[in-house]
Amino acid sequence: MTETRRLRRRAAAYPPLLAAIHDPPAELYLRGSGGDEILSSPTVAIVGARACSSYGRSVARSLARETAAAGVAVVSGMARGIDGEAHRGALDAGGVTVAVLGCGVDRDYPAAHADLALRICEQGLVVSEYEPGVEPAPWRFPARNRIIAGLCRATVIVEARERSGALITADFALEEGREVLAVPGEITSALSDGTNALLRLGATPVTSAGDILELFDLAPLPPKPASLGETAQALLERLRDGALTADELVRVAGLDPAQASAALMELELASRVTLEDGVYRASV
Amino acid sequence: MLEALRQPLEDGVVAVARVGGHALFPARFQLIGTMNMCPCGARGDPAVECGCTSQRLAAYREKLSRALLDRFDLAVAMPRPRAAELAGSPGEGSSAVRDRVARARERLQATLPRRTEAASELLSSAVDRLPLSGRGRVRVARVARTIAALAGATEVEPAHVAEALSYRIPSELPR
């Protein structure tokens, strides 16, 4: 584990966006190989619920990947669900991600994300206003959320129920005059009630990474080289109409299963689709 | 009980040691198992949303150790059949399949097909990207060889490796 260092509010490297909130942390503890300047570089928060759908996970991962690929660091809370996928998406792109914790940076919370924390530390940062040794506690998470929102020009909520803790981050962002964006969800899904409600109140809809990147006057990286095989391309088109299992794809596309396997593997390795619990989804 | 299967799966014997002596029982068998992806059974079906809490899901998945899972050569996703499927034709007959398997075994006993360079490259990128453990890689390579033999191919091609990869143990388990 790399050493923990401290960043005081008066230090030159203390991120200006965070200093501007109405009660910025007096100190930040940092762990990881990323430099302090990451906190002052273009950043966006990508957050959401712990209990989320496959759709939410897939979208969080894709959005984070494209955002990080374009050079914008992804900030999140390293929680299960949406946060974890946001960090992983940024790592997929070989980009920078920052995890803000509601406990000391020497604690991996949740424990299942210990490996993820290590990977984040390779190029990014794990950050907290709590000193090393402080245990996670439910009442520390809202306070942590203000730092996530405070570090960034914009906060993207990917998926959240009506009373989800993730909405607290959106509230902080609004209070501090930052942009709030939300990903639309199926109106029949309770898991998207919070995000859909944000949209109704005027949050900017996100239907692609471009919607996030244009806040930074950036465009997503040019579309992947069209070096996808014909079968792969055809399957990708089918998946854009909706998620399907491999068997369903083979039936619907009328393909030879062996051909379909090869094409799906091609799509997976090129990050054009995600596979979860046997279900394929086109990446955003 | 499940973990007790690990030894016979790997070694083909069950070893029993007592104070009076020990015995080795031959135990070569083929194990076929089925499971849902979660307690409520909804995961794996794009049309239904899973209602399991993350704790319930984790407890369910942790029942299978990674060590036991790694001993399975193939994992096949079986989605809920749709009405059209149930009403459809029965597919290939067993004797046709048996002949194909017998011929493939003969081929494999004669010579083991080697991987093309492209096939090896695909396997390597999959190991990095998916990710795939060392043991997982070995199993995928063996399954790819079998697929090539079943197809009557002299070499293991990328398509065979791709198909073998589609039968890998899902990385969600036991996470």
The predicted model scores a pTM of 0.69
Greater pLDDT, A162 or B174 = A162
Integer Rg of chain A from CA: 19
pLDDT in tens, A108-118: 888 888 889 99
A63 pLDDT above the threshold of 90? yes
A134 pLDDT above the threshold of 90? yes
Q: What residue of A is the nearest CA neighbor of B56?
A: A51
pLDDT band at B38 (very low <50, low <70, confident <90, very high): confident
Q: Cβ A258–B126 below 8 Å, yes or no?
A: no
pLDDT in tens, A138-177: 889 999 999 999 999 999 999 999 999 899 999 999 999 9
| Predicted local distance difference test score (pLDDT) of residue A29 | 97
Closest to A82 measured CA to CA, from A113, A107, A104: A113
Q: Cβ A278–B77 below 8 Å, yes or no?
A: yes
A199 pLDDT above the threshold of 90? yes
Q: Cβ A245–B37 below 8 Å, yes or no?
A: no
Residues in chain A with CB shorter than 8 Å from the CB of B79 are 245, 247-248, 278
Tell me the three-class secondary structure of A39-96, residue by residue.
Answer: HHCCEEEEECCCCCCHHHHHHHHHHHHHHHHCCCEEEECCCCCHHHHHHHHHHHCCCC
ipTM: 0.73
The whole-number average pLDDT for the span B4-26 is 87
Q: Which residue among A245, A262, A279 places its CB closest to the CB of B162?
A: A262
Say if residue B90 is preceded by a cis peptide, omega within 30 of 0.
no
Q: What is the mean pLDDT of chain B?
A: 85
pLDDT band at B175 (very low <50, low <70, confident <90, very high): very low
Distance CA A79, CA A84 (A): 6
- To the nearest whole Å, the CA of B71 is away from the closest chain A CA by 20
pLDDT band at A224 (very low <50, low <70, confident <90, very high): low
Would you give the DSSP letter of residue A208? Answer: S
pLDDT in tens, A9-36: 999 999 999 999 999 999 999 999 999 9
pLDDT band at B60 (very low <50, low <70, confident <90, very high): confident
pLDDT band at A1 (very low <50, low <70, confident <90, very high): low
Residue matched to tokens 């990050």: A271
- Most A CBs within 10 A among B38, B85, B129, B140, hence the mutation to make, goes to B129
